Amino acid sequence: MPQKTVVTIVGARPQFIKAAAVSRAIARMAGSPLRELLVHTGQHHDENMSEVFFRELSIPAPALNLGIAGGTHGRMTGRMLEEIEKALVEHKPDWLLIYGDTNSTLAGALAASKLHIPVAHVEAGLRSFDRRMPEEVNRVVADHLSTLLFAPTDVAVQNLRTEGIVGDKVRRVGDVMFDVMLFYRDVAARQSTILQRLELVPKTFVLATVHRAENTDDPARLRSILGGLAAISEKHTVVLPIHPRTRAAISARSDFKFPPGLRVIDPVGYLDMLSLEWNAGLIATDSGGVQKEAFFASVPCITLRDNTEWVELIHSGANVLVGADAARIAAEGLRRFASRIPETPLYGDGHAAEQIAAALA
């Protein structure tokens, strides 16, 4: 069988983590049927938002780094579209592989489909049904342009069916983030020293992350979320690894300060993040990935959003939507702290990445 070339587009933190699983599966295939070239758009680029993940998760070095970050959605996506097209014309891949729902995902899908290069989308079929979210626009377009759609859950398959995307092109493979977590959980337990560094006692603290545009771009919501977390911090330590977008939103306003009770730290690498997640008594987040990782770690979660794509977590009772309401965040956070959550397998068998690699080959 002749070797097929896959060009993979990554650019943002969650994509590095997802790509870690699939790139490893591709590299380990018997007979090496696939050659993978990684294109890093540059959307996230510094040490703690990008490089640490390549190092810790042994992700192959990008064949190309486009260095495109910042600017408006239109400008960023447009510049990526132009550069990805050039890379595709040069390498003529058999597949373009994209992950999730960022501007890098959208630019990759558009560039490849105009060149008639088949697109494979990992994490297909997720919907918040909120078209005001940039991620929702990106994922809807990416799914409709894709030739192979790797859905993590039954709900995702159903969402695609509702939009008329059916048949063999849709594969329910499970969630690659579950694969990555299984692979690195023990490594994190052995190697991460974050609990000692921050002097945290397991199961006595809350881990919080906030970075969705709907929260960071709306000062009233952001203030209210921080207020809710501050109220929780009167009882339990709250650790907040701060996303650059959230830090920028807070520093842009002179009347805005982090509440003193919060332990605000720089973003952490994946191994430290797993260690924080597994040892937290509660996770408060607006991140898609972190909602699932809370569930993997059997830690109760409150989601700082009005909706979620990962609805099975809500239905199972593992997670609850609290929006940006300070009183609700405090009440649900304190009530759920260290509570037990149901343990049902929702995200596959830990072999999503191998199934994806096999389908591409």
**Contact residues for ligand UDP (CB under 6 A)?**
13-14, 17, 209, 211, 241, 267-270, 273, 287-290, 293
Q: Which of 150, 140, 84 is nearest to 117 (CA)?
A: 84
CA atoms within 13 A on the CB side of 142: 32
Cα separation, 68 vs 39, in Å, equals: 12
- Which is nearer to ligand UDP, 87 or 287 (by Cβ)? 287
Residues sharing a CB contact under 8 Å with residue 103, sequence separation 6 or more, in sequence order: 11, 41, 43, 73, 76, 77, 80, 134, 138
Whether residue 304 contacts residue 332, with contact meaning beta carbons closer than 8 Å, is answered with no
Q: Cβ 107 to ligand UDP, closest distance in Å?
A: 16
We find the least distance from the C-beta atom of residue 176 to ligand UDP, in angstroms, to be 11
To ligand UDP, the closest distance from the beta carbon of 148 in angstroms equals 21
Please tell me which residue in 211, 236, 315, 351 is annotated as part of the active site: 211
Q: How far is the CB of 254 from ligand UDP (least distance, A)?
A: 26
The 10 Å CB-count burial string (b at 16+, else e) for 279-311 is bbbbbbbbbbbbbbbbbbbebbbbbbbebbbbb
Nearest to ligand UDP of 102, 355 (CB atom) = 102
Our CB check for ligand UDP shows the closer of 113 and 138 to be: 138
144 is catalytic: no
Instruction: CB nearer to ligand UDP: give 13 or 172.
Output: 13
Q: Furthest-apart CA pair in the chain: how many Å? A: 63
Q: How many CB atoms lie within 10 A of CB 266?
A: 12
| Token pair recorded at residue 165 | 């995307």
- What is the nearest approach in angstroms of ligand UDP to the Cβ of residue 231? 22
Nearer to ligand UDP, 265 or 331 (CB): 265
User: Hey, which residues are catalytic here?
Assistant: 211
